[in-house]
Structure 1
Amino acid sequence: MTLERGNAFTPVASATMIWPWTMSVLGGAAGGALFFLTSLSGGILPAVMSGLGAAVIFFSLIGGVGGVLSKKADRRGRRYAAAYPFRYAAVPAIVGGVGYGILTLSPFTAIFVALAIWATVGVIAMVVGDKK
């Protein structure tokens, strides 16, 4: 079975095929630790929640952008991301928005986070995808 033209090659398949898991987990952990340390003066629980929220956002951003930029990623996934950058960006946006919404229990903030991730990853995929 081929995942080339005319088949149901979805954004989820594209994101999972080219997602740099190690880099996104390490980036999410580093971003979360940084936000945890900077907000530690407000108390332990708010610092933990801030760190976890930042970790989810960095995980989604680095995963989405890294998948487009990585040379080790599957070429079909990169081609899909270049052809449909904002469809591809929907998966990292949903992951980041839902994760942030679960942590903060604030649906409006989660929607804003998802839109910001969607726009960022989509624009980067559009610009980088045209150059390859």
Structure 2
Amino acid sequence: MTLERGNAFTPVASAAMIWPWGPSVVGGTVAGALSFLANFGLAGVPVAVTTGIFFFALIGGIGGVISKKSDRRGRRWAATYPFRYAAAPAMIGGGAAAIVSYIVSVVTSFAIFSGIFGGLWTGLGVGLTLWVIIGVVAAVAGNKK
């Protein structure tokens, strides 16, 4: 497999190979439900969805690096290239947050064109936050052996 040599391997393949799907789905669902209960009402739904997506990507990204059940070659690649690995969960979380933010701005204020910029700004913020957190954890706690 090309994973050992480091050529022709993408961060998306690494993230998909070592992603702990069960804990990340449960963690995202619990975080979203708790966020909805904290912001009860119709306005709390988009916040809860965005919070659930954020924690889904965060738990999946960090869990893939520190879990001993995932593929050892994928963990080694993620620890060797931590910020390349962190790009995939950051794109998932940031892209989903941008889409939710855009849909909310269109539904609430019919801001079709100006909502694009708000959604992109929100997605960039969420993606950058996830990228930094997951990259630092992968660099520090990753198993390079």
TM range (shorter): over 0.9
Counterpart check, 1:80 vs 2:66: no
Deviation at 1:109, TM superposition (A): 1.3
Deviation at 1:76, TM superposition (A): 0.8
Identical positions, percent: 57
Counterpart check, 1:65 vs 2:100: no
Counterpart check, 1:101 vs 2:114: no
Question: Distance between the aligned counterparts of 2:20 and 2:129, measured in 1?
Answer: 20
What is aligned with 1:26?
A: 26
Gaps of 5+ in 1: none
Contact 2:53–2:97 (CA<8 Å) still a contact in 1?
yes
What is aligned with 2:86?
A: 89
Question: Distance between the aligned counterparts of 1:129 and 1:71, measured in 2?
Answer: 11
Letter of the aligned partner of 2:124 in structure 1? I
- In the alignment of these two chains, the number of paired residues is 129
Contact 2:2–2:9 (CA<8 Å) still a contact in 1?
no
Provide the TM-score with structure 1 as the length reference.
0.93
- Which of 111, 130, 134 is equivalent to 1:117? 130
Question: Distance between the aligned counterparts of 1:2 and 1:127, measured in 2?
Answer: 24
For residues 38-63 of structure 1, what are the alpha-carbon distances to aligned partners after superposition, in whole Å with 9 as ceiling and x for unaligned?
000xx32x111111010100000000
Provide the TM-score with structure 2 as the length reference.
0.85
